[in-house]
Amino acid sequence: MKPVPPNQQQALVERLMQACGGGYSPETRRKHFITGPQWAASYQGQALFHAPTRTAIGFEDVIREFAKIGIGYWCTHDTDVIPTEQLGKDGQHQIVARIQKSLAEHGLKCSMVTTETFYHEVFVAGPAAEAPEVRCYAAFRVRNTVDIGHELGAEYAVYWPGSLGYYTQGAIDETESLRWYADALNAACERDIEIAKKKNRPTLKHCLEAKPFEPQGEILLPTSDAMLGFIFSGLVKRPEMVGLNPEYLHELMWGAAVRAALARALVCGKLFHFDINDGYRLKHDVDIAIGLVNPLDWLNVLVLLRSHGYNGPFNLDYKPPRTTSNAGVWAVSVPTMVDRFITLWEMAGEVISDPIITEATEALKAGGTGADTKNAESIVKANKELLSLHELIAHRIFQILIGAHRGRTYSL
Ligand code: XLS
Ligand code: MG
Ligand code: MG
Protein backbone atom coordinates (compact mmCIF):
# COMPACT_ATOMS: atom_id res chain seq x y z
CA MET A 1 0.00 0.00 0.00
CA LYS A 2 1.17 3.54 -0.77
CA PRO A 3 1.87 5.92 2.14
CA VAL A 4 -1.32 7.74 3.15
CA PRO A 5 -1.06 11.55 3.06
CA PRO A 6 -2.15 13.23 6.33
CA ASN A 7 -5.14 14.92 4.70
CA GLN A 8 -6.55 11.54 3.59
CA GLN A 9 -6.08 9.66 6.87
CA GLN A 10 -9.28 10.73 8.57
CA ALA A 11 -11.30 9.69 5.52
CA LEU A 12 -9.56 6.30 5.56
CA VAL A 13 -10.45 5.78 9.24
CA GLU A 14 -14.06 6.73 8.51
CA ARG A 15 -14.28 4.43 5.49
CA LEU A 16 -12.87 1.47 7.43
CA MET A 17 -15.26 2.21 10.31
CA GLN A 18 -18.13 2.05 7.80
CA ALA A 19 -16.69 -1.22 6.50
CA CYS A 20 -16.74 -2.61 10.07
CA GLY A 21 -20.51 -2.08 9.97
CA GLY A 22 -22.78 -3.14 12.77
CA GLY A 23 -23.13 0.17 14.58
CA TYR A 24 -26.28 0.69 16.66
CA SER A 25 -28.46 3.71 16.00
CA PRO A 26 -28.38 6.61 18.48
CA GLU A 27 -32.00 5.70 19.42
CA THR A 28 -30.99 2.16 20.35
CA ARG A 29 -27.97 3.39 22.29
CA ARG A 30 -30.14 5.83 24.21
CA LYS A 31 -32.34 2.99 25.50
CA HIS A 32 -29.46 1.88 27.75
CA PHE A 33 -28.47 3.65 30.95
CA ILE A 34 -25.04 4.45 29.50
CA THR A 35 -23.33 7.44 31.05
CA GLY A 36 -20.45 9.32 29.46
CA PRO A 37 -17.90 11.03 31.69
CA GLN A 38 -16.55 14.45 30.77
CA TRP A 39 -13.09 13.30 31.82
CA ALA A 40 -13.04 10.22 29.55
CA ALA A 41 -13.91 12.10 26.38
CA SER A 42 -11.65 15.05 27.19
CA TYR A 43 -8.64 12.97 28.30
CA GLN A 44 -5.64 14.30 26.41
CA GLY A 45 -3.41 11.24 26.80
CA GLN A 46 -1.08 12.64 29.46
CA ALA A 47 0.46 10.50 32.22
CA LEU A 48 3.60 10.34 34.31
CA PHE A 49 5.74 9.18 31.39
CA HIS A 50 3.48 10.47 28.62
CA ALA A 51 2.95 13.85 26.97
CA PRO A 52 -0.58 14.71 25.82
CA THR A 53 -1.46 13.57 22.30
CA ARG A 54 -4.81 15.32 21.89
CA THR A 55 -5.96 18.92 22.21
CA ALA A 56 -8.20 20.08 25.03
CA ILE A 57 -11.96 19.83 24.60
CA GLY A 58 -14.64 21.45 26.75
CA PHE A 59 -17.99 20.23 28.04
CA GLU A 60 -20.05 21.89 25.31
CA ASP A 61 -18.26 19.83 22.65
CA VAL A 62 -18.40 16.65 24.71
CA ILE A 63 -22.13 16.98 25.38
CA ARG A 64 -22.85 17.73 21.70
CA GLU A 65 -20.84 14.74 20.49
CA PHE A 66 -22.35 12.39 23.11
CA ALA A 67 -25.77 13.47 21.86
CA LYS A 68 -24.88 12.68 18.24
CA ILE A 69 -23.62 9.23 19.20
CA GLY A 70 -26.67 8.50 21.37
CA ILE A 71 -25.19 8.59 24.87
CA GLY A 72 -28.10 9.80 26.96
CA TYR A 73 -26.29 10.80 30.16
CA TRP A 74 -23.26 12.90 31.03
CA CYS A 75 -21.26 13.04 34.26
CA THR A 76 -18.33 15.02 35.58
CA HIS A 77 -15.86 15.77 38.34
CA ASP A 78 -16.35 19.25 39.81
CA THR A 79 -12.93 20.38 38.54
CA ASP A 80 -13.35 18.86 35.06
CA VAL A 81 -15.59 21.80 34.35
CA ILE A 82 -15.06 24.41 37.10
CA PRO A 83 -11.60 25.87 37.79
CA THR A 84 -10.61 25.16 41.41
CA GLU A 85 -10.53 28.85 42.36
CA GLN A 86 -14.12 29.33 41.13
CA LEU A 87 -15.65 26.50 43.17
CA GLY A 88 -18.55 27.74 45.26
CA LYS A 89 -18.31 31.22 43.72
CA ASP A 90 -20.08 33.16 40.96
CA GLY A 91 -17.94 31.54 38.27
CA GLN A 92 -19.37 28.17 39.31
CA HIS A 93 -22.94 29.39 38.94
CA GLN A 94 -22.26 30.71 35.46
CA ILE A 95 -20.64 27.45 34.38
CA VAL A 96 -23.45 25.35 35.86
CA ALA A 97 -25.95 27.50 33.95
CA ARG A 98 -23.99 26.89 30.73
CA ILE A 99 -23.97 23.14 31.42
CA GLN A 100 -27.74 23.16 32.01
CA LYS A 101 -28.24 24.97 28.72
CA SER A 102 -25.99 22.61 26.83
CA LEU A 103 -27.65 19.50 28.29
CA ALA A 104 -31.13 20.83 27.48
CA GLU A 105 -30.12 21.82 23.95
CA HIS A 106 -28.85 18.33 23.18
CA GLY A 107 -31.40 16.32 25.17
CA LEU A 108 -28.91 14.84 27.66
CA LYS A 109 -29.29 14.40 31.40
CA CYS A 110 -26.62 14.72 34.05
CA SER A 111 -26.54 11.35 35.84
CA MET A 112 -23.71 11.78 38.30
CA VAL A 113 -21.30 14.26 39.84
CA THR A 114 -18.06 13.43 41.58
CA THR A 115 -15.54 15.40 43.59
CA GLU A 116 -11.90 15.47 42.56
CA THR A 117 -10.05 14.91 45.84
CA PHE A 118 -6.78 13.65 44.37
CA TYR A 119 -5.28 15.94 41.71
CA HIS A 120 -4.83 19.32 43.35
CA GLU A 121 -1.86 19.85 45.64
CA VAL A 122 -4.22 20.61 48.52
CA PHE A 123 -4.92 16.83 48.61
CA VAL A 124 -1.26 15.84 48.56
CA ALA A 125 -1.65 14.19 51.99
CA GLY A 126 -5.10 12.89 51.04
CA PRO A 127 -8.62 14.22 51.51
CA ALA A 128 -8.51 13.13 55.18
CA ALA A 129 -5.12 14.66 56.01
CA GLU A 130 -4.00 15.53 59.55
CA ALA A 131 -4.39 19.28 59.04
CA PRO A 132 -7.96 20.29 59.99
CA GLU A 133 -7.98 22.93 57.23
CA VAL A 134 -7.60 20.25 54.56
CA ARG A 135 -10.47 18.24 56.00
CA CYS A 136 -12.60 21.31 56.26
CA TYR A 137 -11.83 22.07 52.60
CA ALA A 138 -12.62 18.46 51.59
CA ALA A 139 -15.99 18.76 53.34
CA PHE A 140 -16.65 22.01 51.49
CA ARG A 141 -15.78 20.32 48.20
CA VAL A 142 -18.07 17.33 48.66
CA ARG A 143 -20.94 19.50 49.92
CA ASN A 144 -20.45 21.83 46.98
CA THR A 145 -20.57 18.84 44.59
CA VAL A 146 -23.85 17.76 46.17
CA ASP A 147 -25.20 21.26 45.44
CA ILE A 148 -24.03 21.03 41.82
CA GLY A 149 -25.56 17.57 41.53
CA HIS A 150 -28.97 18.81 42.63
CA GLU A 151 -28.77 21.80 40.30
CA LEU A 152 -27.97 19.56 37.37
CA GLY A 153 -30.63 16.99 38.28
CA ALA A 154 -28.15 14.17 39.01
CA GLU A 155 -29.15 10.98 40.83
CA TYR A 156 -25.71 9.80 41.88
CA ALA A 157 -22.58 11.13 43.56
CA VAL A 158 -19.34 9.16 43.28
CA TYR A 159 -16.30 9.25 45.56
CA TRP A 160 -13.00 7.77 44.51
CA PRO A 161 -10.68 8.54 47.43
CA GLY A 162 -7.59 8.04 45.23
CA SER A 163 -5.12 9.68 47.56
CA LEU A 164 -6.46 8.22 50.83
CA GLY A 165 -3.26 6.33 51.60
CA TYR A 166 0.47 6.82 51.60
CA TYR A 167 3.86 5.96 50.16
CA THR A 168 5.63 5.49 53.49
CA GLN A 169 4.06 4.10 56.65
CA GLY A 170 4.12 5.27 60.23
CA ALA A 171 3.34 8.97 59.97
CA ILE A 172 -0.43 8.62 60.14
CA ASP A 173 -2.80 6.55 62.22
CA GLU A 174 -5.03 4.75 59.74
CA THR A 175 -7.97 4.49 62.13
CA GLU A 176 -7.95 8.26 62.52
CA SER A 177 -7.75 8.81 58.75
CA LEU A 178 -10.72 6.52 58.21
CA ARG A 179 -12.76 8.44 60.78
CA TRP A 180 -11.85 11.69 59.12
CA TYR A 181 -12.70 10.32 55.70
CA ALA A 182 -16.11 9.25 57.04
CA ASP A 183 -16.60 12.79 58.37
CA ALA A 184 -16.40 14.16 54.81
CA LEU A 185 -18.84 11.58 53.53
CA ASN A 186 -21.18 12.32 56.43
CA ALA A 187 -21.00 16.03 55.61
CA ALA A 188 -21.99 15.26 52.00
CA CYS A 189 -24.97 13.13 53.11
CA GLU A 190 -26.18 15.76 55.59
CA ARG A 191 -25.96 18.45 52.93
CA ASP A 192 -27.80 16.17 50.52
CA ILE A 193 -30.68 15.64 52.95
CA GLU A 194 -30.97 19.41 53.46
CA ILE A 195 -30.91 20.33 49.75
CA ALA A 196 -33.12 17.43 48.65
CA LYS A 197 -35.74 18.60 51.14
CA LYS A 198 -35.52 22.19 49.93
CA LYS A 199 -35.73 21.20 46.28
CA ASN A 200 -38.25 18.45 46.84
CA ARG A 201 -36.00 15.95 45.11
CA PRO A 202 -34.89 12.50 46.23
CA THR A 203 -31.48 12.38 47.90
CA LEU A 204 -28.54 11.29 45.78
CA LYS A 205 -27.13 7.79 45.83
CA HIS A 206 -23.62 8.17 47.25
CA CYS A 207 -21.25 5.65 45.71
CA LEU A 208 -17.77 4.73 46.94
CA GLU A 209 -15.26 3.62 44.35
CA ALA A 210 -12.21 1.58 45.34
CA LYS A 211 -8.89 1.10 43.53
CA PRO A 212 -6.13 -1.03 45.04
CA PHE A 213 -3.21 1.26 44.11
CA GLU A 214 -2.49 4.44 42.12
CA PRO A 215 -1.89 7.23 42.73
CA GLN A 216 -0.81 6.30 46.27
CA GLY A 217 1.49 3.37 46.93
CA GLU A 218 -0.89 1.97 49.54
CA ILE A 219 -4.58 2.78 49.82
CA LEU A 220 -6.63 2.60 53.01
CA LEU A 221 -9.80 1.38 51.27
CA PRO A 222 -8.36 -0.66 48.39
CA THR A 223 -11.25 -2.89 47.32
CA SER A 224 -15.02 -2.83 47.03
CA ASP A 225 -15.13 -5.30 49.92
CA ALA A 226 -13.11 -2.88 52.07
CA MET A 227 -15.63 -0.20 51.10
CA LEU A 228 -18.52 -2.45 52.16
CA GLY A 229 -16.87 -2.96 55.53
CA PHE A 230 -16.42 0.82 55.80
CA ILE A 231 -20.08 1.52 54.98
CA PHE A 232 -21.20 -0.83 57.74
CA SER A 233 -18.40 0.14 60.19
CA GLY A 234 -20.49 2.57 62.20
CA LEU A 235 -18.35 5.51 61.03
CA VAL A 236 -20.72 6.26 58.16
CA LYS A 237 -23.77 7.91 59.73
CA ARG A 238 -26.18 7.25 56.85
CA PRO A 239 -25.22 3.79 55.59
CA GLU A 240 -28.55 3.51 53.77
CA MET A 241 -27.54 6.45 51.52
CA VAL A 242 -24.13 5.00 50.65
CA GLY A 243 -23.29 2.17 48.26
CA LEU A 244 -20.67 1.23 45.73
CA ASN A 245 -19.41 2.26 42.34
CA PRO A 246 -17.15 -0.68 41.52
CA GLU A 247 -14.94 -0.30 38.48
CA TYR A 248 -14.33 -3.38 36.35
CA LEU A 249 -10.60 -2.87 35.98
CA HIS A 250 -10.05 -1.77 39.57
CA GLU A 251 -11.25 -5.20 40.70
CA LEU A 252 -8.96 -6.97 38.21
CA MET A 253 -6.04 -4.87 39.44
CA TRP A 254 -6.04 -6.74 42.75
CA GLY A 255 -6.74 -10.07 41.10
CA ALA A 256 -10.46 -10.40 41.85
CA ALA A 257 -13.00 -12.34 39.85
CA VAL A 258 -15.01 -9.24 38.92
CA ARG A 259 -18.24 -11.21 38.78
CA ALA A 260 -17.73 -12.45 42.33
CA ALA A 261 -16.88 -8.93 43.58
CA LEU A 262 -20.10 -7.64 42.01
CA ALA A 263 -22.07 -10.52 43.53
CA ARG A 264 -20.83 -9.51 46.99
CA ALA A 265 -22.08 -5.97 46.37
CA LEU A 266 -25.40 -7.28 45.03
CA VAL A 267 -26.17 -9.42 48.05
CA CYS A 268 -25.59 -6.37 50.29
CA GLY A 269 -27.95 -4.30 48.10
CA LYS A 270 -25.06 -1.91 47.46
CA LEU A 271 -24.40 -2.13 43.73
CA PHE A 272 -25.49 1.42 42.90
CA HIS A 273 -23.29 2.37 39.94
CA PHE A 274 -20.75 0.59 37.74
CA ASP A 275 -17.67 1.99 35.95
CA ILE A 276 -17.06 -0.06 32.83
CA ASN A 277 -13.77 -0.57 31.02
CA ASP A 278 -11.20 -3.31 30.48
CA GLY A 279 -7.55 -4.10 31.14
CA TYR A 280 -5.13 -6.59 32.60
CA ARG A 281 -5.10 -8.46 35.88
CA LEU A 282 -2.59 -7.34 38.55
CA LYS A 283 -1.39 -4.43 36.43
CA HIS A 284 -2.04 -0.73 36.48
CA ASP A 285 -5.11 1.29 35.63
CA VAL A 286 -4.94 1.38 31.82
CA ASP A 287 -8.69 1.97 31.40
CA ILE A 288 -8.98 0.24 28.03
CA ALA A 289 -12.43 0.26 26.45
CA ILE A 290 -14.84 -2.59 27.27
CA GLY A 291 -14.39 -5.92 25.54
CA LEU A 292 -10.98 -5.31 23.97
CA VAL A 293 -9.15 -7.47 26.51
CA ASN A 294 -11.61 -9.74 28.31
CA PRO A 295 -14.78 -10.16 26.22
CA LEU A 296 -15.64 -13.56 27.69
CA ASP A 297 -15.27 -12.30 31.25
CA TRP A 298 -17.35 -9.26 30.36
CA LEU A 299 -20.08 -11.44 28.93
CA ASN A 300 -20.17 -13.37 32.19
CA VAL A 301 -20.29 -10.16 34.22
CA LEU A 302 -23.25 -8.89 32.22
CA VAL A 303 -25.07 -12.21 32.56
CA LEU A 304 -24.86 -11.80 36.34
CA LEU A 305 -26.06 -8.19 36.23
CA ARG A 306 -28.87 -8.87 33.75
CA SER A 307 -30.10 -11.88 35.64
CA HIS A 308 -30.23 -9.86 38.89
CA GLY A 309 -32.02 -6.89 37.35
CA TYR A 310 -29.20 -4.35 37.89
CA ASN A 311 -30.68 -1.09 36.62
CA GLY A 312 -28.04 1.46 37.58
CA PRO A 313 -25.74 3.32 35.22
CA PHE A 314 -23.02 1.77 33.09
CA ASN A 315 -20.43 4.50 33.17
CA LEU A 316 -17.88 4.60 30.34
CA ASP A 317 -14.90 5.23 32.63
CA TYR A 318 -12.20 4.47 30.10
CA LYS A 319 -9.46 6.38 28.37
CA PRO A 320 -9.38 6.60 24.59
CA PRO A 321 -5.91 5.29 23.64
CA ARG A 322 -3.15 7.86 23.17
CA THR A 323 -2.81 6.71 19.56
CA THR A 324 -6.37 7.81 18.82
CA SER A 325 -6.69 11.38 17.51
CA ASN A 326 -9.24 13.99 18.56
CA ALA A 327 -11.33 13.04 15.52
CA GLY A 328 -10.80 9.35 16.26
CA VAL A 329 -12.29 9.75 19.76
CA TRP A 330 -15.66 10.49 18.16
CA ALA A 331 -15.33 8.43 14.97
CA VAL A 332 -13.95 5.25 16.55
CA SER A 333 -13.35 5.22 20.29
CA VAL A 334 -16.61 6.28 21.93
CA PRO A 335 -19.13 4.71 19.51
CA THR A 336 -17.31 1.36 19.35
CA MET A 337 -17.05 1.23 23.15
CA VAL A 338 -20.79 1.81 23.45
CA ASP A 339 -21.59 -0.72 20.74
CA ARG A 340 -19.44 -3.48 22.21
CA PHE A 341 -21.23 -2.92 25.52
CA ILE A 342 -24.66 -3.20 23.87
CA THR A 343 -23.62 -6.30 21.91
CA LEU A 344 -22.32 -7.98 25.07
CA TRP A 345 -25.53 -6.97 26.88
CA GLU A 346 -27.61 -8.59 24.13
CA MET A 347 -25.42 -11.69 24.23
CA ALA A 348 -25.95 -11.82 27.99
CA GLY A 349 -29.69 -11.99 27.24
CA GLU A 350 -29.00 -14.90 24.89
CA VAL A 351 -27.02 -16.73 27.57
CA ILE A 352 -29.86 -16.26 30.04
CA SER A 353 -32.48 -17.61 27.64
CA ASP A 354 -30.33 -20.31 26.02
CA PRO A 355 -32.19 -23.64 26.33
CA ILE A 356 -29.00 -25.67 26.67
CA ILE A 357 -27.64 -23.51 29.50
CA THR A 358 -31.05 -23.39 31.15
CA GLU A 359 -31.46 -27.15 31.09
CA ALA A 360 -27.90 -27.75 32.27
CA THR A 361 -28.26 -25.27 35.14
CA GLU A 362 -31.58 -26.73 36.21
CA ALA A 363 -30.16 -30.25 36.10
CA LEU A 364 -27.24 -29.19 38.30
CA LYS A 365 -29.66 -27.69 40.81
CA ALA A 366 -31.95 -30.73 40.71
CA GLY A 367 -29.02 -32.98 41.62
CA GLY A 368 -28.94 -36.78 41.27
CA THR A 369 -30.99 -39.56 42.79
CA GLY A 370 -30.41 -42.16 45.41
CA ALA A 371 -27.98 -40.24 47.63
CA ASP A 372 -27.69 -40.89 51.34
CA THR A 373 -27.11 -37.30 52.51
CA LYS A 374 -25.13 -38.49 55.52
CA ASN A 375 -22.70 -40.35 53.28
CA ALA A 376 -20.13 -38.41 51.23
CA GLU A 377 -19.33 -41.26 48.83
CA SER A 378 -22.97 -41.84 48.03
CA ILE A 379 -23.49 -38.11 47.30
CA VAL A 380 -20.46 -38.10 44.99
CA LYS A 381 -21.85 -41.08 43.05
CA ALA A 382 -25.30 -39.53 42.77
CA ASN A 383 -23.92 -36.34 41.14
CA LYS A 384 -20.77 -37.44 39.37
CA GLU A 385 -21.88 -37.29 35.75
CA LEU A 386 -23.94 -34.13 36.18
CA LEU A 387 -20.88 -32.11 37.12
CA SER A 388 -19.46 -32.29 33.58
CA LEU A 389 -22.16 -29.72 32.87
CA HIS A 390 -20.00 -27.01 34.47
CA GLU A 391 -17.55 -27.21 31.59
CA LEU A 392 -20.34 -27.69 29.07
CA ILE A 393 -21.94 -24.43 30.22
CA ALA A 394 -18.60 -22.60 29.88
CA HIS A 395 -18.27 -24.00 26.33
CA ARG A 396 -21.78 -22.91 25.45
CA ILE A 397 -21.06 -19.38 26.70
CA PHE A 398 -17.98 -19.33 24.45
CA GLN A 399 -20.15 -20.48 21.55
CA ILE A 400 -22.55 -17.64 22.21
CA LEU A 401 -19.61 -15.22 22.30
CA ILE A 402 -18.43 -16.31 18.84
CA GLY A 403 -21.91 -16.75 17.37
CA ALA A 404 -21.70 -20.56 16.98
CA HIS A 405 -25.16 -20.88 18.55
CA ARG A 406 -26.49 -18.94 15.54
CA GLY A 407 -24.83 -21.32 13.12
CA ARG A 408 -21.45 -19.66 12.63
CA THR A 409 -18.96 -22.40 11.77
CA TYR A 410 -15.21 -22.64 11.13
CA SER A 411 -13.83 -25.18 8.60
CA LEU A 412 -16.18 -28.00 9.51
C1 XLS B 1 -9.80 6.67 38.70
C2 XLS B 1 -11.23 6.58 38.82
C3 XLS B 1 -11.94 7.88 38.57
C4 XLS B 1 -13.28 7.81 39.19
C5 XLS B 1 -13.95 9.11 39.42
O6 XLS B 1 -9.10 5.69 38.60
O7 XLS B 1 -11.72 5.57 38.00
O8 XLS B 1 -11.98 8.16 37.21
O9 XLS B 1 -14.12 6.96 38.50
O10 XLS B 1 -13.19 9.95 40.20
MG1 MG C 1 -13.71 4.93 37.88
MG1 MG D 1 -9.70 2.94 36.06
Give the whole-angstrom CA distance, residue 118 versus residue 163.
5
Q: Can you give the pLDDT at residue 304?
A: 99
Give the span between the Cα atoms of 53 and 326, in whole angstroms: 9
Q: Which of 8, 6, 1, 13 is nearest to 327 (CA)?
A: 13
pLDDT(256) > 80: yes
The whole-number pLDDT of residue 411 equals 87
Can you list the alpha helix ranges (DSSP code H) found in 21-131?
26-30, 38-41, 59-69, 78-81, 90-106
Number of H helices, E strands in the chain: 17, 10
pLDDT tops 80 at residue 55: yes
Q: How far is the CA of 287 from the centre of ligand 3 (A)?
A: 5
Does the Cβ of 137 fall within 6 Å of ligand 1? no
Span 375-411, pLDDT tens digits:
999 999 999 999 999 999 999 999 999 999 999 999 8
Which one of 42, 117, 209 would you pick to mutate in the ligand 1 pocket, going by the greatest count of ligand atoms within 8 A of its CB? Answer: 209
| Enzyme catalytic residues | 77, 80
The per-residue pLDDT for range 284-295, each reduced to its tens digit, is: 999 999 999 999
Mean pLDDT of the chain: 97
